[in-house]
Structure 1
Amino acid sequence: MTSQRTPSRQARAARSPLLFVLAALACATALGWTYWAFVRTTTGQFADESAWREAGVAAPDTQLPFLRFLDTLPTISAVLAAAAILFVAFGRRRYAAALTAVAVIAASNLTTQILKNLVFDRPDRGVDTLDFNSLPSGHTTLAASAAAAVFIIATPRWRPLAAAAGGGYSVLAGAATFLNLWHRPADVVAALLVVGAWTLVGGLIIMRTGNTWNTWQGFGAHWASSRGWLVLCWVLGLGGLALSAALYLSVQAAGPPPAPGTAGVPLFFWAGLTCIVGVGFALSASVGWLFAAQARTTTEQTRP
């Protein structure tokens, strides 16, 4: 007796869309907390300003090479995103996916500019610092949104690699703005969270409208879909966050210096840098895992 193959009711990508919505809301909540903790409070302003000032002392030799990287960052990001989007649109004829990727880039960068220039302000909390708001970082948003666009339009078997590579590129861009004294650590973290929220929204749309191609054979079927890419992101993400918290708490336990940037050991700097690494890779690991779990596997395509 021959079996009739009929579509399974579970054979749809992003079959639990609420997970994407909740994750996006979590990013938005974390963004709001970052702003409140490091801009609205005295303790947060002191820690963020201290990290920024200590960067000029702890890593003075990094500023020139990172400045060159930052000068070319918009071009690099635009070329990477444009090449991937054009390939998907005209090479694979996935026009909806390409348009959604463009929308994610536009929404992320527009959100950052609106928040930085119109919504968020920087109150005077008695900390000697710049009197204008710089959160979120525009350069970090640009780089991370370009990486996010490549990630969401990639086929599932390439997404674990794209998550790790995109996380590395975003962290490098964010760390560069920090080490070159363009932004404080909280500015970079906020930008990563903005992009994370829009990545989840755009990714949900792409997976639900691109059900036919959002399918894969699971981890390990292809070298780019190895679980190791996400494990690496988890290790760097959770390790960075744990180290950042330990460094920050050690400074508070010993007592912060009398003024920002006057500590003998630049613990605020290292806490800020490891926080950027931790948030960037933790977001990459979380998003990569969610997209993998919600992709359509080959065993879900048909049933007897």
Structure 2
Amino acid sequence: MRTRSNPVRFFGGALLSTAVFVLLYLFFVQTHTGQAVDQLAYDGAEFGRRSVTPFTQGILDWLPIASAVVGLLLTIIVALIRRHLKTFVVAVGVAAAAIATTQLLKYGILSRSDLGVEGYAGNSFPSGHTTVAAASALALFLVASPRTRSRVGVWGTVFAVLAGLSTLADQWHRPSDVIAALLVVAFWGCVGGAVLSFSRAVADLPPHDSPSRQWWIAIPFAVISGAALVVTLLDTSGGASGALIAYIGGLTAIAASGFLIALTATRLFDPLP
């Protein structure tokens, strides 16, 4: 199949990621309602923490180093097999840039206004653990062949989403922190795609997997999270039941966001050799 790579599509993806990131920050970090919704989901994580804390604590303890090492090793192996040094350099570069961006945003640029919402007051937006997991998956996704890219994207997304869910379940982060981290990685993934698209304008691509299955994974999560958000917005002061609904909404919102981003990425990279 003859196809042409177009860097403009990646610039559009980067712009969209940035816009959604800014909207998340302005609503969930800088408004009282957004903070209340996010905090309620964070408080609701107490339900899950009672039963899954040992598991999630274990994941969070080894996640940054293990995911970075394993991701780098797999990326090196695939890059060597495919003999794509430039792709490897771009993949590692954007993954490192995503991790650095999250740290800079969280500790040097962004702040959380005190709007009278009870709970953890410090800024945790975006999540560093989720960024590391997603960035590792991104590096492997970039060096994968067009034939296997969709499958790598699905499994990489599962890994990143599980990492994000763990940070919420163990009350390390709020839902918006996790989704923001995924958007940071998505932005740098688009930057990497734009760089790679300049290297070869036209290519013959073999048949490869269809990413359509990700729609069926994302849609149920999106519906549930949307319904939970509406219920939570109607009563942000909800008690135990309200916190549980907000928590479920946060979990499903993370999953929906992860798979929607993965689907978009697979579509964007579809023509890229």
Selected match of 1:139 from 126, 129, 135 = 129
Deviations 1:158-182, CA, capped at 9 Å, x for gaps: 1010111111111001001110111
Match of residue 236 from structure 1: 217
Deviations 1:74-97, CA, capped at 9 Å, x for gaps: 233123322233224444332111
| Mapping 1:204-243, distance limit 5 Å | 204-209=194-199, 215-219=204-208, 225=209, 227=210, 230-243=211-224
CA distance in 1, matches of 2:225, 2:40: 14
Match of residue 25 from structure 1: 15
**Uncovered stretches (5+) of structure 2, i.e. residues with no partner:** none
Match of residue 272 from structure 1: 250
Amino acid across the alignment from 1:281: F
Moved more, 230-239 or 166-175: 230-239
Amino acid across the alignment from 2:168: F
Moved more, 230-239 or 161-170: 230-239
Distance 1:48 1:231, change over 3 A: same
Q: Kindly indicate whether the alpha-carbon contact (under 8 Å) linking 2:127 and 2:177 is maintained by their aligned counterparts in 1.
A: yes
Q: Kindly indicate whether the alpha-carbon contact (under 8 Å) linking 2:225 and 2:252 is maintained by their aligned counterparts in 1.
A: yes
Amino acid across the alignment from 1:256: T
Larger radius of gyration: 1
**Uncovered stretches (5+) of structure 1, i.e. residues with no partner:** 1-9, 220-224, 297-304
Does residue 179 of structure 1 match 2:169?
yes
CA distance in 1, matches of 2:233, 2:39: 15
Match of residue 106 from structure 1: 96
Q: Kindly indicate whether the alpha-carbon contact (under 8 Å) linking 1:105 and 1:145 is maintained by their aligned counterparts in 2.
A: yes
CA distance in 1, matches of 2:167, 2:246: 16
Q: Kindly indicate whether the alpha-carbon contact (under 8 Å) linking 2:63 and 2:133 is maintained by their aligned counterparts in 1.
A: yes
Amino acid across the alignment from 2:118: D
| Mapping 1:186-197, distance limit 5 Å | 186-197=176-187
Shift of 1:62: 0.9
User: What is the root-mean-square deviation in Å for CA atoms of aligned residues?
Assistant: 1.9
Amino acid across the alignment from 2:31: T
Shift of 1:247: 1.1
Does residue 92 of structure 1 match 2:90?
no
CA distance in 1, matches of 2:72, 2:25: 31
Shift of 1:13: 4.6
Q: Kindly indicate whether the alpha-carbon contact (under 8 Å) linking 1:13 and 1:215 is maintained by their aligned counterparts in 2.
A: no
**TM-score for the superposition, normalised by structure 1:** 0.84
CA distance in 2, matches of 1:231, 1:106: 29
Q: Kindly indicate whether the alpha-carbon contact (under 8 Å) linking 1:112 and 1:141 is maintained by their aligned counterparts in 2.
A: yes
Q: Kindly indicate whether the alpha-carbon contact (under 8 Å) linking 1:233 and 1:282 is maintained by their aligned counterparts in 2.
A: yes
Taking every aligned residue pair, what percent have the same amino acid on both sides?
A: 33
Q: Kindly indicate whether the alpha-carbon contact (under 8 Å) linking 2:33 and 2:236 is maintained by their aligned counterparts in 1.
A: no
User: How many residue pairs end up in the alignment?
Assistant: 272
Shift of 1:119: 1.0
Match of residue 46 from structure 1: 36
